[in-house]
Structure 1
Amino acid sequence: MNTTLPQGPPSGAVVVGVALDGSPAALSFAAAEACRTHRPLHLVHVLRISGVEAYAGVVQGAWEAADQALAHALAQARDLVVGEVPVTAERLDGGWLVADLVDRASRGAMLVMEHRRIGPVRRVVTGSVVAGVASRCAVPVVSVPEGWRPGESQAVVTVGVQDAGEAEPLVRRALSEARARDVGVVVLHAWYLDEGYDSVVADRAFRAERKRKLTRELTPAIEAASADFPDVPVRLWVRHAIPTGALVDSGSSSELLVIGRRHHLLPLGSHLGPVARAVLQYGTCPVLLNPESPVEGAVPVDDTGHARRAAQPA
């Protein structure tokens, strides 16, 4: 295996970012996704060395440590896929972690990363690599919590929607993921009145009327998305709760949580919204951030999650 020269992922691959610890949770998810969708699996490790470290003569040691970690992860990945799909790997030395991962993801169909459990002070200082990548990536990004293991949750895909305008593409993505897993979909909309009004205004009658109103608004988008997925059971859950808490809670009973990248009131192309950031930080199940729109050069997929063949000229 040559992990020194950048090679790039095969077209339509499931790309997984691998850290020095091997990112076992992300690797397990990515291997299962590659086998499920019959896509190649490609491992990427981005080496980051500061100028001070380079002058200290640690470059060679860093290369060796990175190659050892990547070789170990590659062996694990091949064990996980048991020959069902090809597995490749590469080491990138540019040091631009977010930019390099976004570039490699754009050549594949999905990027899988592991989300580290770190303290809030360090989070403020270092930021989140997953959030940085997800806010720029043209393909779906899946954040897998550190320590997650497959098979620990109930068989359902949950999708969080904020308003009817954004619901259809998100529900469609969730239905596609659910069909590939042979599970059902829960469409979750959570609402809560801010500034202290909730405890004053949201009595039983108000909550009942709000639920009826939101159900009327969201049902057409859900039905439109479900038209191509008659075999996938789907239900709408309108919940009176703080949205972030409701989405995080759903992780304990979800195989996958699908959310939008930005808040619905932010302009297109914005970085992650506050709800998405909070769910990434505290979520207990894999979280898929759906891109806002397809980008030229990204590999299109059909509703089953497989690569779509280009139309042949007449």
Structure 2
Amino acid sequence: MTRTVTLSVTAGLDGSRESRAAAEWAAREAQLLGLPLKLIQVWEPVPEPMAQAPLLGVETQQHWTERIPRDAAEGIRARHPGLDVTVEQLSGRPAEVLADEAKDAELLVLGSRGLSGIAGFLVGSVGLAVVAHADRPVVLVRAEEQAADEHESDPVGIPSAATAFRPVVLGLDIDSPDRELIEFAFAAAARRGTALRVVHGWNPPPYYAYGLSADLELHASLAQRETTVLTEVMRPWRKKFPEVEVTEESHYGTPGSHLVDASRDASLVVVGRRIRRSPFGAHIGPVTHAVLHHAMAPVAVVPHN
């Protein structure tokens, strides 16, 4: 996915709280990247004969088609002086249009509704479809996400945009580490001036599993093997990004659970999605799926081969 021209950070906007939070996050990321921001509003055509019925009044239709994107853009320009913000209205199936728009974006940013009283997201069908099919990184942002949430707490224990960024968390499969995924996470940490926390979860092969609980020596041997491999995978990346402090964690158990736990103290969680060109369609994967639904921080899903 090497690109010679970078156009913008793109955010989907539909007037909801989650899409407004996504647009704000996208604006902050665009400033970090030094790129323009493009807000995309997608209208899905109404099938016949419903299209013949006056479902929306003139004022309501004008509000949705003109005022919401205009007000969103004006608000972002006021809060982020100097940022180049454009608005584009498109027609079609939202998931298909947004996935297509991602091809010409550095990032595509979408909103996800926070689960009231429970950690994480409620990812809708459009968001999941875009994540599954987009060829570029897609970031999911909770409705409640604020700029201060990405930063460490101040001396009195309150998160503040004036303090340092929290670490970026990378979920990594050391059996098939992907260069684009790792580089994305390091670059995100570098432009935030923060640390990168690499989290790896492992389970023993099936033929070990039955005796593992009783064999502490075997467990320790497998754990040491996983830690050693993780260190070797990260060694060249530490040299490439010497300014980024790296911590490596290899945990026994389900990777998704460890990443969700790590997300509580993260500014961004980065996970991968393997691109599958098959007649059975796209697949997100169980770990990424779990992180998308339960993480406490914005989640970047990076597609890779």
Task: Name the TM-score, length of structure 1 as normaliser.
Answer: 0.78
Counterparts of 2:244 and 2:228 in 1: how far apart (Å)? 21
Q: Give the fraction of aligned pairs with identical amino acids, expressed as a percent.
A: 27
Counterparts of 1:194 and 1:249 in 2: how far apart (Å)? 24
Say whether the 8 Å CA contact 1:13–1:109 is kept in structure 2: yes
Deviation at 1:292, TM superposition (A): 0.7
Say whether the 8 Å CA contact 2:230–2:250 is kept in structure 1: no
Deviation at 1:90, TM superposition (A): 1.3
Structure 2 partner of 1:157: 168
Counterparts of 2:22 and 2:209 in 1: how far apart (Å)? 39
Local SS of the residue matching 1:253: coil
- 1:148 pairs with 2:160: no
Structure 2 partner of 1:16: 11
Local SS of the residue matching 2:76: helix
- Aligned to 2:26, which of 16, 24, 30? 30
Say whether the 8 Å CA contact 1:175–1:226 is kept in structure 2: no
- Aligned to 2:291, which of 260, 276, 279? 279
Structure 2 partner of 1:288: 300
Deviation at 1:66, TM superposition (A): 3.1
Local SS of the residue matching 2:54: coil
Counterparts of 1:93 and 1:267 in 2: how far apart (Å)? 27
Q: Which runs of 5+ in 1 are unaligned?
A: 1-9, 120-125, 294-314
Task: Show CA shifts across 1:62-113 (max 9, x none).
Answer: 4542322111211222123212x2100011122x111111121211211011
Counterparts of 1:168 and 1:105 in 2: how far apart (Å)? 20
Deviation at 1:168, TM superposition (A): 4.0
Deviation at 1:36, TM superposition (A): 0.7
Written as runs of structure 1 = structure 2, the 5 A alignment for 1:72-111 is 72-83=71-82, 85-94=83-92, 96-111=93-108
- Aligned to 1:255, which of 245, 253, 267? 267
Task: Show CA shifts across 1:245-275 (max 9, x none).
Answer: 1111111011110101149xx7788421122
Local SS of the residue matching 2:133: coil
Counterparts of 1:131 and 1:172 in 2: how far apart (Å)? 24
Q: Structure 2 counterpart of 1:237, which letter?
A: E
Say whether the 8 Å CA contact 1:111–1:141 is kept in structure 2: yes
Task: Show CA shifts across 1:177-226 (max 9, x none).
Answer: 0000000111100124598x868624543432222101222222211222
Structure 1 residues 194 and 143: alpha-carbon distance in aligned structure 2, compared to 1, 3 A threshold: farther
Counterparts of 1:290 and 1:206 in 2: how far apart (Å)? 34
When the two structures are aligned, how many residues end up with a matched partner? Answer: 274
Structure 1 partner of 2:230: 218
Give the root-mean-square deviation of aligned CA atoms.
2.8
Counterparts of 2:244 and 2:298 in 1: how far apart (Å)? 20
Structure 1 residues 112 and 127: alpha-carbon distance in aligned structure 2, compared to 1, 3 A threshold: closer
Task: Name the TM-score, length of structure 2 as normaliser.
Answer: 0.80
Structure 2 partner of 1:3: none
Deviation at 1:146, TM superposition (A): 2.0
> After the TM superposition, which of the residue ranges 53-62 and 179-188 deviates more from structure 2?
53-62
Structure 2 partner of 1:42: 38
Task: Show CA shifts across 1:270-297 (max 9, x none).
Answer: 421122112111111011111215xxxx
Structure 1 residues 208 and 222: alpha-carbon distance in aligned structure 2, compared to 1, 3 A threshold: same
